[in-house]
Structure 1
């Protein structure tokens, strides 16, 4: 059996895939391509097409997977992307790599590719990406605007819930899964004063979000515009508005609603939006779990 590192298909696949992905990410990092179809779909597809043209499919795929693992590891070690971003992108990237390889395989079944080891056959697919990516960037639309709402029913009055959520000294509830693997963890929120125009600053493990109160009625609504945010590794995500709604269901129960409005540049939206909403919902849940603990400490545990 030939040694892995002496197989030409393995070496070529490892080099081609690493170079393609690295160049694509470099263009993305410097804002020359968008966080869209060209980068997340076209780039891995054309990479798979080039890898699928190699004569030894088995070793070519092993070379591809090896290069992919090294590429993502370097992103993490170099702190160019976080673990949560890598894990979310991985299924889409791997699926498109596989799709590109399958396309080449089907073409090869119908007709022999001319000189499959030649440089033009391997590089031409990447040139197609280089031509398409700037066109998408030039035609880029405004970021998508999305609102995520999470509700919780609490056995306390609206006034009690408001008092505990307007400012939070320390959040120490059990962390949902996505917060455990890299999503920014809320640490505390400080409301400067209870008035329209006041600042509310929320501190996270990866930075902070500064909000300005635009509407405030204690026990009814706390609405804030996000005026500044600084969270590491999230250039594609923006925050617009944060709202708390307090609904007194009966004398001893309040329905609290948290609404986060954000913008996102990621495409395709059918893939990314459910993942974005899941992440924000888990941060909402973390805040709600901590709120429940604070209410129990302040007013005692209410028996069902």
Structure 2
């Protein structure tokens, strides 16, 4: 027991070999324990990527179903001793290297915590006073010494150029054959590009924090320019990726800045760069092989219509071309709803909601006139048309990555001449981190709902007004 107590201590330092050994064994033990409990006791699937998908349900723990709350609570309780050991050893390892202790927060960042672990297992501890001089530089170090410029402009230019080439090549690797748009691409890659650029720029001489941040940000920008220029991605998709990509690139640059003054860090730059270069493709390949399950999300939008439910029902089942001009979002290329048609009546009828990029095929499952119309979705058109100066580009994420599975219209009477109409869509998007991309997809689907609901509202209220005038009644 006394020997095990070393794992729980916060004082002192720990070597990189011991840190790496405990980390690998601890993760293997914890993962198999979690998988055993999840499958045997709770009858749920559990894989490695469950650690990288943030459990946002915990933020709403009190509203979770009882079974989910017990499951997550059990896993959290089992994780506490592992978290204690991991944080304690990481603090001691940071102290041994000479890095700021607050970097321990990276221990809790999905995906980046793996890269953080690899870096702490690679960087040397500070040499004690009076230690023997380091051995002669090896061949790879001499190559770095020779080809990385000492000049302040030359080192930055080389850093940006190398990371831009690596970034474009990695995106090409991720989107070829079996495309993967996951944490390796949107989390690992920008962080690694920022880290690599600051390490190259500061290889001979430590650079300022502002310079490291600027070089890492410029690297990310140049990757985006390259993807656009080579017709790999369109402008709107790159704009959506800018917030997460730029932030993580700058964070990577900041970590590189903190590593620069560490004793012996320059000699470890080749090894550190190799880890960073291989990290994103490695994660991408793991995602490609393991295929983590995409979460199911729901988006609901509502409008109050001054017309009875029977009138509203007639207008939502099928409607002619939407007259309202597309707003800025749809002009940028997002699929825009234009009309709806239906073949048949009742359950089994097939509704087609036509968009600018094609039609959603929606077999009717519930026909509860005039209260609820529910349908599945068996075919999805491309989610957008890319904005690009080229004639046509087709990134893989345009089809099969944002998938609507079902939808419904719910009508609630608020009086003789007033109806609450709610439109809901249940969808999955196969892009990670899911909660980041959900911000964009929820926003886009809300705008699609609003365009359709406004059109239904306008037609229903016009029809109701015409009926009131025809019958000689007052318009409510």
Q: Give the TM-score taking structure 1 as reference length.
A: 0.86
Runs of 5+ in structure 1 lacking a partner?
A: 1-5
- Which residue is 1:107 aligned to? 259
Are 2:308 and 1:157 equivalent residues in the alignment?
A: yes
Q: Report if aligned partners of 2:193, 2:220 keep a CA contact under 8 Å in 1.
A: no
Mapped partners of 1:246, 1:220: distance in 2: 5
Are 2:188 and 1:42 equivalent residues in the alignment?
A: yes
Change (3 A) 1:222 1:92: same
Shift of 1:169: 1.2
Change (3 A) 1:226 1:129: same
- Which residue is 2:440 aligned to? 275
* Structure 1 vs Structure 2 CA RMSD: 2.9
Question: SS of the counterpart of 1:258?
Answer: strand
Query: What are the within-5 Å matches in structure 2 for residues 97-136 of structure 1?
Result: 97-111=249-263, 113-114=265-266, 122-136=273-287
- Which residue is 1:24 aligned to? 170
Shift of 1:64: 5.3
- Which residue is 1:241 aligned to? 406
The equivalent position to 1:262 in structure 2, one of 424, 427, 433, is 427
Query: What are the within-5 Å matches in structure 2 for residues 177-188 of structure 1?
Result: 177-188=328-339
Runs of 5+ in structure 2 lacking a partner?
A: 1-151, 385-397, 467-473
Question: SS of the counterpart of 2:380?
Answer: strand
Shift of 1:138: 2.9
Between stretches 12-21 and 251-260, larger displacement belongs to: 12-21
Q: Report if aligned partners of 1:159, 1:219 keep a CA contact under 8 Å in 2.
A: yes
Mapped partners of 2:220, 2:154: distance in 1: 18
- Which residue is 1:3 aligned to? none
Mapped partners of 1:77, 1:46: distance in 2: 22
Change (3 A) 1:60 1:42: same
Mapped partners of 2:224, 2:460: distance in 1: 42
Deviations along 1:195-234, whole A, 9 cap, x unmatched?
A: 3222211221222211111111221111111011121514
Between stretches 77-86 and 226-235, larger displacement belongs to: 77-86
Deviations along 1:253-293, whole A, 9 cap, x unmatched?
A: 11111110111112222322232211111111111122222
More contact order relative to length (CA 8 Å, sep ≥ 6): 1
The equivalent position to 2:197 in structure 1, one of 51, 55, 65, is 51
Give aligned pairs, total: 299
Shift of 1:251: 0.7
The equivalent position to 1:202 in structure 2, one of 341, 353, 372, is 353
Are 2:463 and 1:298 equivalent residues in the alignment?
A: yes
- Which residue is 1:227 aligned to? 378
Question: SS of the counterpart of 2:250?
Answer: helix
Structure (1/2) with the larger helix percentage = 2
Change (3 A) 1:30 1:206: same
Shift of 1:83: 3.9
Mapped partners of 2:188, 2:425: distance in 1: 31
Q: Report if aligned partners of 1:49, 1:103 keep a CA contact under 8 Å in 2.
A: yes
Change (3 A) 1:265 1:290: same
- Which residue is 1:95 aligned to? 247
Mapped partners of 1:132, 1:195: distance in 2: 47
Structure of greater Rg: 2
